[in-house]
Chain A
Amino acid sequence: MSALAAGATPVRRVTQRRVARSEWTKLRSVPSTRWALLITLLLIIGIGILVCVVFESRWPHLSAAERHRFNALDRSIAGVNFAQLAIGVLGVLVITAEYSTGSIRSTFAAVPKRLPVLWAKALVFGVVAFVVTLPALLIVFFVGQAILSGQHINISISHPGVVRALFGAALFLTVMGLFGLGLGAIVRSTAGGIAVLAGLVFVLPPIISLLPSSISNSVDPYLPSNAGGAVWTIHPDPNTLAPWTGFAVFCAYAAVALAVAAVLLVRRDT
């Protein structure tokens, strides 16, 4: 049979680019990706619109203090607070699903050097996360501001820091996904990876806030979600890092997680 004739298939070496194409095929061909991305979009858009509708309708009844605290940008993209978990969980799944299903054996048999797989997953998933979340953020911003304009409390896209915050939110969600990918690759179990991610993002901040304020004020800005949060707000409270400084700290968390994952990936048995 010609299908098996030796030499029928030309020999082509494994390259980073080819592994990235393979990872793109893998990412788009499982239902869990579509579900997690859909949930991320619904959280970003749905929560933002809901918050804007409520503020617009309740505005005449709000106290002066509340009106003073109101921030039209932050409210319209408030869904990022919840979407970060969805995108982080998807990041975890991108690698842990390979371990739980056993497909990691096929993957590493094809790419036995292994590291190209991790970089390809990070690249492909990072691009997908950014490309999906940025439009969602722009949509919810414009729809949200249109709603808020009913009370003339909307903010313009040309207002200083707004464009940076919208791009920053998309970058923040992307890096959160990569953070999840790194944690998942370290832990190699879906439940474990999600638990560690949720612990660092949602459980650690309230624990730190229990400490004396002299300690919590100095630690708080450096926690992953707080550091990363600096880049997608325009009226930060004083105890927050500068936008891109905070984002750099957040990127460092993800980079450390991926670096540890890379070291372990090469060393461990499959």
Chain B
Amino acid sequence: MIEVAHVTKRYGSTVAVRDLTFTVPPGIVTGFLGPNGAGKSTTMRLILGLDAPDSGTARVAGKLYRDHPAPLHECGALLEARSVHPGRSAYNHLLALAQTHGIGRARVDELIDMVGLAKVARKKAGTFSLGMGQRLGIASALLADPNVVMFDEPVNGLDPEGILWVRHLLRRLASEGRTVFVSSHLMSEMAQTAEHLIVIGRGQLLADMSVDEFVRNASKQSVRVRSPQAARLKELIASPDVTVQAHHQSVLEVVGLSSEQIGEIAAENEVVLHELTPQQASLEEAFMELTREEVEFHADAQALAGEPQEAVT
């Protein structure tokens, strides 16, 4: 269980996180979603006590992280990008972390095998690809068999096989009753693994809900109507609560009425319909809709309309 309560963090004049409150429960995968620069990494650093909040508290299993006598056993974290000395071998990196908690070499070997780094464990971590670095980070997170795992952008730099492996790993960790908190800037990735979502933008909480609920709430449900009498139908359904966009002479995009309501109005007024389709917004659209105002740096409109680009951070 992770409990973040009214946490605010400033760096100089920049507010990285503003009055953030949420709880991450055990037993499920909770996605931590937000555009780049939204404050996800900062929040994770605050939870681990690497940075101190200006106000508020972040607790892991009921205590501040630093107050746990065996902190790695409580919470294992994959931190942003590189947190490894490039001149040290993966094995020695893990061994040094293990020794702080009296964990033996056998466990280090076990983890190296588990993340698939056995062949390169004695090589300098500086020679690792981004994907291998992520695997090493995951091994260090799981070293002390923690009750809470926190992964910052774990699939960054992984190949498709690695991405699949991480998804299975996250689900398995959650099914074992652990608290699993995973950040991503890609909604599509979260939809594959997370059951619950915490969405932030510019350091503020935007949503704290299940993935299903998120899609229902954040997307505007619209109905696509095709009719040879589109102009007449538009007049019939007009009301202050309803917005109608005419994409084409005969095609309307209606927000504010269900397909049933539109069908009934059309029937009563003998308007011919060629198509009546409820439009479900995609997850990515729902996410972008929610964070539209909150994206720190807008790319050009074209890039926003398409798939968000995998950012190299």
Contacts and interface: CB of A to CB of B under 8 A. Distances in A.
Interface residues of A, number: 41
B144 A9 contact: yes
A159 interface: no
B85 A14 contact: no
Interface string B69-108: 1111100010111111111110011011111111100010
B142 interface: yes
Interface in A95-146: 97-98, 101-106, 108-113
B87 A13 contact: no
B145 A14 contact: no
Interface string A1-30: 101111111011111001101110110011
Contact of B89 (A23, A29, A267): A29
B71 to A, nearest CB: 5
B234 interface: no
A114 B118 CA distance: 31
A18 B101 contact: yes
Contacts of A110: 71-72, 97, 100-101
B69 to A, nearest CB: 4
The contact size tier of chain B is 35 or more
B49 interface: yes
A19 B103 CA distance: 12
B89 A106 contact: no
Given A3-B114, A25-B99, A112 B71 contact: yes
B176 interface: yes
A6 B69 CA distance: 18
Contact of A26 (B96, B102, B103, B145): B96
A112 B48 contact: yes
A270 B71 contact: no
Contacts of A102: 81-84
Interface of B: 45, 48-52, 65-66, 68-73, 77, 79-89, 92-93, 95-103, 107, 110-111, 113-114, 140, 142, 144-145, 147, 172-173, 176-178
